[in-house]
Structure 1
């Protein structure tokens, strides 16, 4: 279960490895609670389950070897393929080998930092819509987790889909319906059960997947037939070509990747912001420092792209929130051939977990790992730390292509909302950490939204 440390909500790991029955039962409910305490204390933790070698790597050098130096020896693990591929197809997040490489080459220019800054006005506009909704609520309590999902989906609509966006509430429900039963998918994969076996929530998940794909495919067909030029991410993807082969994305490729950006992209940023608001409620002096920085950088004027680089402390707060509550809390790879990583010999088929949540709170890597301290991301502190001790966007060739998009979006949304409001957590409420591919607050994040009057 999740418990409260002296300051913050966290996972309370089991002191000993779980037996087979408890492990599968826990995987269905909340897979992150499977990881034993040793994962947070040792550089390598290994065990064998259901005839498969499983290794947890928390040592930054081993992480680098796995994700960078020997990346060609691994593929996405069956657990993640079974969880994501039915909805996302063979997009950047799920494709392997040559299929992944050409898509990455084609899409990379679109997601360069300078290109994404051009979308700052749309990001600010989405944040301002949320700000006005919050102020109109008159100090009422809102679920900030849901509010952030709606806000980042609004960003997706404005930057990627233009005027062709599908209904935000229907998307939210569909994404939840798809993700909710994934604990069963993960447990069945761990137990090496066949994919065709039914499980609770499967029919609802399948309906959600079909709805999302149907809407996106229809939108792409409509856009291809539209004569007017657009300047959004979908238009850029339609025009994208692999610089080596000239290959363009088919309608299926586009649908797979747009679904990835909608489901994975908007949700991860929304969760980073949700956890940031939770942490700022615990450390109001950090919120006040952000507000002061915003006014200094903007001179009291409207936020724009030119202000992003100056929001240094705001960025540190967001980075520290993603350390304590990384939205993508685990990376799982499967060895495609026998491979040696450091001193660890892995047979073909072995699964390697990079438990990002545990790496970010590891006793050997961080001082006071459960404490919220944005100064960990001051420039000198970052330089002194191992590059692979902090992995909110993954690492190596498959590092998140949307990293710049997420950071710019997160900074502008956070700044827009904090300068106008004072969110405060419901008295006595503590969030439960729930892993459903992403790390969510299991019961939402109820906060009273008071207008800022000073």
Structure 2
């Protein structure tokens, strides 16, 4: 007996038409596959469509004795222009397909494509020339440039036609940087509209007159170029016959028939579309995955450098590059540019062993998801790992597991052409350039026509073996301020005739959260005072070409033992650099930020960089410094190290200090009579508040649930972070205004002789600067107290400041006394506004764990946050307000917020295998990611999938005060059998089996925890370090008791057997 195919809830008459994202259908199909599993069914305008998402079904549906390609949906609409071309022909009905297939298959044989090598290299050299002319600061959209490349290549190689999309001069290059050939623009618009038309009722389509007119105009542009190419070819036949020559003159050996002019045009257009659109996508995906995986990039470059060197690549070279082949195969696995194909059964049949499908029914093979099937590719199927394609592993894959080019007789005829072109292009680009991301935090976004490509993905191309070039790229904190359309960084420093004479210095940072960047900014800003002219950039901006004409100062952090996003390529390059004297001309100093909660990996990256630079011959200017973000002396450790740094640099470079050099200056600007504010444009980081509500009773510390609509194109996974760029509380801003006697409407103009994160050289409201550019509430450092002591002040104030300095930890750090607090306590301190602004650190982003799943709503995310509004330990009568939580708490539906999704640690996501139970430990707002995990499992359970029951250990005060979601989702999911909740109520332990804290409840429920472990469960901890250490201690005890081990043996066993099964997300 057959089983019903699962299907989402439908809307009467419309069916599931609103279930699919019109702009990015693959995103909706992917989420439905994750929810419903290997198969589901949709009803689109009365047409039944079945979606097959697993390897097993992809393999079964590749049997051409049972199934044939079906031209339907958007592909059927493409027939409006491409007719019975190879890609869109209906087979077996349309006989021209057989003639074209027989004629053109030999044209794409290995030997034929080999003969096109010189033309391919001609076009590739034009791309390289363009990137070299534009220089390392140019912001490149590789999708656009690879589209130009591949369109030129297919035109020249297949049709002997040039139409100038590759620049022959710098002037041409400038003109073409933003503009594609009209054909390419019309083609993209035509493909997008074809996809949308397929899902519109005929009556709706007929009323869209302007859209229809544009669609017809696009077809006219496409036909115009095809006619031009064909006419030119006939009027000026090439000396060497090409593919178009075969279409014009060839005759099918079986039938003796040739191709009609109409069919030639259809196939010309097919080659122009398919021959460049998919290859440009392949190149862009591969560039993205290499830049996100520095180790793979390093291995590939090493292979190219070793086996080819600097000479131009040939076809004979590509067979000697197994890692390049593996990289491309893995890239095409994760980013198949043609993400789905449609087939139909020739007769009524059963698929998957239980699903009855009627003859002719559309079955869409979702290659995008089949390529991620953990049964074939493992639990790390989402991870880019070229090694899975090496050493015979690719050849050992089960049949039909890898299908980025389709399958069988309707598979991509131009695969050898595309493959060779992409190989030669990648080799040449990596020989000539170091590629870096424009935004190191970028996570893959997709754009879809009939194919998919990375969207909003930008890079810099730095010519290899050049002088040092630094550019800041997107900083982790400033990136949310900036629009991608602004390709020029705003000026942060003015190089005057005086600063130009100063000793060059290079300050590099690796930072995700902004601490290291803030310290680097401090050094760069202080540099002119000490006789240096600083350039500031990310570590990745300087990999492979370290500066030698000045000191190199590095401030960087470790994130669970891994480098920051904007330092990964630098670390990969440095650790693989060979030669004891490779960096003999470099002089450096390193300061590391870290957190001792990650004891095993504390300072790993700063230590690695410091040691490796010295081992490769670089000269250490001063000992490596370090600070613990969780300790009391985080800022003081940096202050002390920076003081020593300047002393050492002064001696090493014979510089002198100048109190006035390079400082920040402030000029008051008369206020305009108008108070109109400039409207903030929507950009890629602008989200909208949908809901903001309190979850707790009035007696408990406030927890809030906030829902945001994400900007277009932004995606997330359960377990990811939402990074928020907050504003200081208005109360704090007005305190600062009052202290300096300023009106909120006062405009100022800042200028600076060194790098600064403040807006310079333009009028800005001081209220805006205090609100959004600086941290006003951060505890003052010893360095800042020393600055205040040097300012003009009374004897009583000087004594008070000296007392703060003598007992800094107790009277400043532990009370969280800010510079503003001190200035208010000692009002006679005469501190210039410029000095105050220069003392303050830049506003940092705050990361919050997302508490929702995209299966619930792919366009929305929720946060579950604690609001900090507590008695001020500084001694002020007003309560202390947390910067970000106060900002978030005040948001109202409709408010716009600058935000960005940040990927969490790869281990902190629910496993693909739904039979693996989750064991989760958290307290308070640490519930956030666990709620996202459970919501995802609940959606999958509702879709009819078998889901293992999970265990949730959750700590809070009491059932009535702060049992977050206890009477809502947690109860609902418990009743569904998704989760078994084990609360620990610290103020109502009688309601939680006598257990007050999470670790107590874990110990009490040991048999259930052990049972989940034996079932292969995966463990997650989210919360403060006390919770993490307490839970770990109890779990180690379990190993000690059950295996009769001593303390050391139990800990070692825990770390061994829990490797890959125990993920933590610790915050304070």
Compute the TM-score of the two structures, normalised by the length of structure 2: 0.39
Deviates more, 1:303-312 or 1:56-65: 56-65
Which of 348, 356, 366 pairs up with 1:355? 366
Report if aligned partners of 2:16, 2:44 keep a CA contact under 8 Å in 1.
Answer: no
2:447 corresponds to which residue?
434
Which of 63, 67, 79 pairs up with 2:62? 67
Does residue 410 (structure 1) correspond to residue 393 (structure 2)? The answer is no
Does residue 278 (structure 1) correspond to residue 288 (structure 2)? The answer is yes
Does residue 33 (structure 1) correspond to residue 44 (structure 2)? The answer is no
Report if aligned partners of 2:45, 2:199 keep a CA contact under 8 Å in 1.
Answer: no
Secondary structure, counterpart of 1:45 in structure 2: strand
1:383 CA drift (Å): 2.5
1:331 CA drift (Å): 0.4
Report if aligned partners of 2:309, 2:431 keep a CA contact under 8 Å in 1.
Answer: no
1:172 CA drift (Å): 1.8
1:432 CA drift (Å): 1.7
2:72 corresponds to which residue?
78
2:330 corresponds to which residue?
320
Report if aligned partners of 2:74, 2:197 keep a CA contact under 8 Å in 1.
Answer: no
Secondary structure, counterpart of 1:35 in structure 2: helix
Report if aligned partners of 2:82, 2:266 keep a CA contact under 8 Å in 1.
Answer: yes
1:365 corresponds to which residue?
376
1:193 CA drift (Å): 7.0
Report if aligned partners of 2:55, 2:373 keep a CA contact under 8 Å in 1.
Answer: no
Report if aligned partners of 1:57, 1:355 keep a CA contact under 8 Å in 2.
Answer: yes
**CA deviations over 1:188-243 (Å, ceiling 9, x no partner):** 2xx68787563774322221111111221232133224355333322233233222
Which of 96, 100, 122 pairs up with 1:99? 96
**CA deviations over 1:396-452 (Å, ceiling 9, x no partner):** 111110111111111000000011112212223334213321012233x21112112
1:24 corresponds to which residue?
17
1:42 corresponds to which residue?
37
Distance across 2 between alignment mates of 1:442 and 1:399: 26
Report if aligned partners of 1:27, 1:184 keep a CA contact under 8 Å in 2.
Answer: no
1:22 CA drift (Å): 9.4
1:179 corresponds to which residue?
191
1:387 corresponds to which residue?
399
1:147 corresponds to which residue?
145
Which of 459, 463, 470 pairs up with 1:451? 463
Distance across 1 between alignment mates of 2:56 and 2:270: 30
Report if aligned partners of 2:15, 2:46 keep a CA contact under 8 Å in 1.
Answer: no
Report if aligned partners of 1:76, 1:94 keep a CA contact under 8 Å in 2.
Answer: no
Q: 1:395 to 1:111 in 2, by over 3 A?
A: same
Does residue 259 (structure 1) correspond to residue 256 (structure 2)? The answer is no
Secondary structure, counterpart of 1:141 in structure 2: coil
Distance across 2 between alignment mates of 1:278 and 1:228: 38
Pairing of 1:139-288 with structure 2 (within 5 A): 139=136, 140-163=138-161, 165=163, 169-188=181-200, 198=208, 201-226=211-236, 229-288=239-298
1:10 corresponds to which residue?
none
Distance across 1 between alignment mates of 2:58 and 2:250: 32
Distance across 1 between alignment mates of 2:30 and 2:122: 44
Q: 1:341 to 1:358 in 2, by over 3 A?
A: same
Secondary structure, counterpart of 1:288 in structure 2: helix
**CA deviations over 1:273-326 (Å, ceiling 9, x no partner):** 101111111112222222222233325422112112112211111111111111
Secondary structure, counterpart of 1:365 in structure 2: helix
**CA deviations over 1:39-78 (Å, ceiling 9, x no partner):** 247333345554443322234454344333335x434242
How many corresponding residue pairs?
A: 436
Does residue 54 (structure 1) correspond to residue 80 (structure 2)? The answer is no
Report if aligned partners of 1:27, 1:187 keep a CA contact under 8 Å in 2.
Answer: no
**CA deviations over 1:154-207 (Å, ceiling 9, x no partner):** 21122022145476611221112212323422322xx68787563774322221
Q: 1:75 to 1:283 in 2, by over 3 A?
A: closer
Deviates more, 1:213-222 or 1:50-59: 50-59
Report if aligned partners of 1:75, 1:335 keep a CA contact under 8 Å in 2.
Answer: no
Distance across 2 between alignment mates of 1:247 and 1:379: 46
Report if aligned partners of 1:27, 1:183 keep a CA contact under 8 Å in 2.
Answer: no
Which of 98, 105, 117 pairs up with 1:108? 105
Report if aligned partners of 1:220, 1:251 keep a CA contact under 8 Å in 2.
Answer: no
Q: Which runs of 5+ in 1 are unaligned?
A: 1-14
Compute the TM-score of the two structures, normalised by the length of structure 1: 0.88
Deviates more, 1:144-153 or 1:343-352: 343-352
Secondary structure, counterpart of 2:435 in structure 1: strand
1:330 CA drift (Å): 0.6
Q: 1:133 to 1:103 in 2, by over 3 A?
A: same
Distance across 2 between alignment mates of 1:194 and 1:76: 25
Secondary structure, counterpart of 1:187 in structure 2: coil
Q: Select the structure that is richer in helix.
A: 1
Structure (1 or 2) with the larger CA radius of gyration: 2
Distance across 2 between alignment mates of 1:18 and 1:128: 53
Q: 1:350 to 1:102 in 2, by over 3 A?
A: same
**CA deviations over 1:347-393 (Å, ceiling 9, x no partner):** 13411010011111123322111100001211421132112121100
1:122 corresponds to which residue?
119
**CA deviations over 1:66-101 (Å, ceiling 9, x no partner):** 333335x43424204433111211100011213322
Distance across 2 between alignment mates of 1:301 and 1:442: 33
Q: Which runs of 5+ in 2 are unaligned?
A: 1-5, 166-179, 466-543, 545-1068
Distance across 1 between alignment mates of 2:361 and 2:202: 13
Aligned Cα root-mean-square deviation (Å): 2.6
Distance across 1 between alignment mates of 2:231 and 2:150: 24
Report if aligned partners of 2:55, 2:401 keep a CA contact under 8 Å in 1.
Answer: yes
Report if aligned partners of 2:345, 2:361 keep a CA contact under 8 Å in 1.
Answer: yes
